[in-house]
Amino acid sequence: MIGRILVAYDGSDPARRALDLAAEFCTKFGAEVSIVPVLMHGRPAKELVRMAEIEHMVEHVHKEHLPDMACVAGRAYDALSAAAPGNRSARIASALGNRLMAMARSRCAELGVEVAQTSVWTGDYSDEILDAASEMGSDMIALGARGLGSVKAAVPGRVTQKTLHHAAQTVVVVK
């Protein structure tokens, strides 16, 4: 029986579809959903930065969470890089993770599903997904195929493969 579903959410279209499917499972089977965005420790993926710029998340994060910092259009990757002064990159990456969670919570609310847990994890994507699923007691992991990765091959991406190979839980990969 599926009682707890963890959704690895990165804001991509496949991740949104995985969230929608998890919400449908929750509605039909009375399961709980947990949402986990994972941020790569030290430096975010360029694809996350690109998506953040497209979704205007950088501007939103600056206005809401970092009003004391200037937001320079087109320089988001520099602001998020590990070389950024002080703890600025960590603050911005954390704020982006929080924004991803807010987006996912909003989508769940639209679908009439209550989110049981949310948590931003930092580290290797697949390792953190697996650790979160184990720690949260999840029976199923739902994730989008390829997410924000740049690999366009017909085979699953590295995160998907590693998650499928090492998970103790049922894994649903949504395209």
Q: Per-residue pLDDT tens for 70-98?
A: 554 444 445 444 444 455 566 666 777 78
Based on the structure, what is the number of domains in the chain?
1
| Segments forming the whole domain that contains residue 111 | 4-174
SS3 116: strand
CATH of the domain at 36: 3.40.50.620
Q: Per-residue pLDDT tens for 127-157?
A: 999 999 999 999 999 999 874 544 454 445 7
User: ∠ CA 87-89-91 to the nearest 5 degrees?
Assistant: 70
Q: Which of 39, 38, 31 is nearest to 140 (CA)?
A: 31
Q: What is the C-alpha separation between 97 and 123, in angstroms, rounded?
A: 13
- pTM comes to 0.73
